[in-house]
Amino acid sequence: MIRIYTLLLLVMLMWGLNVSAIKVLVDAIDPMLLTGFRVMTAGVAVLVICSFMGIFRLPDKHEWLIIFYIAIFNVILHHSFVAVGLEMTTGINGSLILGMNPLITAMMAFLILRQRMTWVRVFGFVLGFVGVVVTTIMGTGELTGVSMGDLIVFLGVAVQGFSFVLISKLKPTFDPRLATGYMLVFGAVFIFLASQALGSGIGEITKLIDWQLGSAFLFSAVLATAFGHMTYNYAIKKVGPAESAIFLNLNTLFAVIGSSVFLNETITFNHAIGFILILCGVFLGTGAMEYMLLKRRER
């Protein structure tokens, strides 16, 4: 369990820094075109890694169906809704809504999978969410009214939370890391086609020849997206969607630190308070405190 949580922490670090990488990339390349190319690169990388790991195989008919369903929610709809929604709302609102992912995933796991949820863990999820609120609103500005963009981003979070529940229902015979590769490739094709339908110029990809943009792209595609999604989906299968989702709150922490280091943005006192609340939320929401108390009673 400690190994899984350590890997999740590493993934959250990568995903947090990925915010800075993507911010640099979308200033030069159309967001939808970039997303399609980045997700496709990540999917191919995952399949290659799975081949070296000896777990590569073709899915059977039933598994193709599950992969298709998960890709629709986890890749196509999630990335599309978030990309479109963030263009229609503020960054503060978008960050706050994305920070609701653990709460939405936990709720879906409770309703669909009938997972047991103690009051301590519920408090951990709420505390982590409050930390995200403090970090995004009090740390960077004021919350504006609810817009259509807010609702679209919320849909993006909801479909991703539902996809996490679907991942937990994959058959034990099919490794979730391999499924991740197929989902990313399948979803990337649809996102790329959507970008072309919206008039994105495919020639913009040549801008990645620049070593700085190319390095940011490889980090985002291979490490943050490929390795990150492989590891996260594997963790969902091992410890459950709700326990894994609580770590998503750490995205805010690492994203703010990355913005300070790479984008020269200022970390305020409110950010520090938010960080503490997020860390406490992770500690409670993952059941770490309950586990420690149980071990103490056993001794």
Residue 126 domain-assigned (yes or no): no
Residue 138 has pLDDT above 90, yes or no: no
Task: Find, among 95, 82, 78, 86, the residue nearest to 131 by Cα.
Answer: 95
Could you give the CA distance from residue 71 to residue 69 in angstroms, rounded to a whole number?
A: 6
pTM given for the model: 0.77
Evaluate whether residue 91 is within a structural domain: yes
291 CB burial (10 A radius; 0-12, 13-18, 19+): exposed
Residue 39: inside a domain, yes or no?
A: yes
Would 220 be classed as within a structural domain? Answer: yes
Please give the tally of structural domains in the chain: 1
Residue at 57 is within a domain: yes
Q: Find out whether 42 and 229 touch, Cβ atoms under 8 Å.
A: yes
What phi, psi does 102 have (nearest 5°)?
Answer: -60, -40
Cβ-contact 224, 232 below 8 angstroms? no
pLDDT in tens, 61-104: 888 888 888 899 989 999 888 877 777 776 666 776 777 777 77
CA dihedral 266, 90, 161, 288 (to 10 degrees): 20
Tell me the per-residue pLDDT of 104-130, one tens digit each, with 9 for 90 and over: 777 787 778 777 778 888 888 888 888
> Is residue 136 in some structural domain?
no
In a domain, 272, yes or no: no
Confidence (pLDDT) at 185: 94
C-alpha dihedral, 180 to 182 to 188 to 193, nearest 10°:
-150
- Is 160 among the domain residues? yes
pLDDT tens digits, 186-225: 999 999 998 998 888 889 999 999 999 999 999 999 999 8
Q: Which domain holds residue 199?
A: 2-119+144-240
Q: Check whether 142 has a pLDDT greater than 60.
A: no
